[in-house]
A and B are shown apart, each in its own frame.
Chain A
């Protein structure tokens, strides 16, 4: 691909950013992401799952920015509840509360929020810029990837999330494999023979992505919220003055080297398929603590303990967005939902995405960068007002979530069976959630299962049973084995500790 084409795509991407439709859905996504990020029980994947059924109503330049924006700004909203109420709005905000909430107890809530917002905003922005710079380099790399490699890249993604997503490696692997198994329902792509349909015509096309996502994530969280029966947030907290916020901003620049290292950790973790955004902030926090001169201060309300995880959590987006677009492998469960949005838009992320739809890919990366800046600016202005959403009672949220999720599921294929499947999967989601199994692993297995089977049989057809005797394939096999081995060792170390 010539440099002229890349330059033209960049120009087109900047022009796309001025499209009123795109801007409208970007701001809508910012509002939804911030508002839902402040709802501790609902944040994270749920809002993405809720808007997914509406994807086919929108153009690619409207729907995809909407999902990316929600994904990007949810962490910024989520950090506020982590700091103020000791409840993370999203999973990746969990590491922030370790030092954020003690800062609130010490009367430094506004300082912690200021530091968190700037770290998250700048981390997300710089990571997406880094991703943009990496596009031309990645173009050459992805050209070398064939179906044989894709088989192992898919397996690598599954092995990563199974090892790192949850507490137990075996439970993570069981979840991933169950997801793969569920994806086999319906016609087999090569032979055309239906599998596990039990004579039901509805299942011949397989299970839909939307009912599975809604069932796994949205409904179980609503059930958990309803079972508490009260408001989500129980604690009244008032922010201190703007001076403290500015002090938090200065803290980030004072610890710029820590910020940069943490941002890079988030970016690299995001690039690796299947790890997920929840891991990076904890890795960064651990790194900050081990490299600090005063590690004993961590956990008692230390601002570095807020800067490190917040710099990493939003930087994951830049890395994982790049992997999702360029290889078609989601770096996290959120990106798996984005992958679903691409499919609903009739687009196939992967190597051809960067060649056939380079301008769209660049536009989405630019949206990711711009969103972080805009959302960061909005947050500073609306912190006192938007935090009231965290006090919306369950009696209003529960019916609202169910109505939106189940009606949206029906919109997806206009099949009432999908609504039944969504409710059925909510039982699966609730069981997995409460018994320590990994819902993101199951989702990734489900999303990647069809791809895995397709690439496997193409590779077997082209290269025979020994199709994996290729340098990149062998290297990937070694990496997969290493990942599983490291997971086993980490599990043993954790038990000993």
Chain B
């Protein structure tokens, strides 16, 4: 029996709700633990049914061939997601460590330049983005933009 990626997700959900269930049992007051216990119990029940369907449900004829044919597409899509996700993570790390003032232009210029945009356009776009965000935050709303772990106080 071959596990599908959806099954792994359901197993992860079951694992998380089981942890929540047993963690909730240790909570101090019944009013505090009532809903977490009920909800995690329901999710465990529903996820188990879905998992059972994935394992023992009837397979449509030709499903295996179709999934094999689509495997290449899925791998390409996943690769695309991973690359884009890495950019998001990189942007987040830049914000956390260097703050918005460095992260916004750095991320914008790096992304646009590496995707074929001309230097001047990437720099102009980054300047406009940072200018807009700065205008909205400090002068208009009076909210100082986050300076980052490296450059903050």
Contact = CB atoms under 8 A, between A and B. Distances in A.
A456 B77 CA distance: 44
Nearest to A169: B46
A177 B42 contact: yes
Interface string A403-445: 1101100110010100110010011001100011000000000
B77 to A, nearest CB: 7
Interface string A448-466: 0000110011000000000
Contacts of B85: 223, 427, 430
Interface string B49-92: 11001000000000000000000000001001101110111011
A228 B77 CA distance: 8
A11 B43 CA distance: 50
A423 B117 contact: no
Contacts of B29: 188, 191, 193
Interface in B87-103: 87-89, 91-92, 95-96, 100
Contact of A170 (B27, B46, B89, B125): B46
A180 B83 CA distance: 32
Interface string A219-241: 10011101111000000000000
B35 to A, nearest CB: 6
Interface residues of B, number: 56
A196 B26 CA distance: 12
Contacts of A414: 143, 146
Nearest to A188: B32
A351 B6 CA distance: 42
A394 B43 CA distance: 37
Given A57-B141, A184-B35, A410-B145, A227 B129 contact: no
B112 A399 contact: yes
A467 interface: no
Interface of B is mostly: helix
Contacts of A168: 50
A226 B107 contact: no
A398 interface: yes
Nearest to A460: B31
A193 B129 contact: no
B143 A420 contact: no
The 7 closest A-B pairs by CB, nearest first: A227-B80, A395-B115, A226-B84, A223-B84, A399-B108, A191-B29, A193-B32
22 contacts: A57-B140, A174-B13, A177-B42, A180-B39, A181-B20, A191-B28, A196-B23, A223-B88, A226-B83, A226-B87, A229-B80, A394-B115, A395-B112, A395-B117, A399-B112, A403-B107, A403-B129, A407-B133, A407-B145, A410-B145, A411-B136, A435-B6
Interface of B: 5-6, 9, 13, 17, 20, 23-24, 27-29, 31-32, 35-36, 39-40, 42-43, 46-47, 49-50, 53, 77, 80-81, 83-85, 87-89, 91-92, 95-96, 100, 104, 107-108, 111-112, 115-117, 125, 129, 133, 136-137, 140-141, 143, 145-146
Interface of A: 54, 57, 168, 170-171, 173-174, 177-178, 180-181, 184, 188, 190-191, 193, 195-196, 219, 222-224, 226-229, 394-396, 398-400, 402-404, 406-407, 410-411, 414, 416, 419-420, 423, 426-427, 430-431, 435-436, 452-453, 456-457
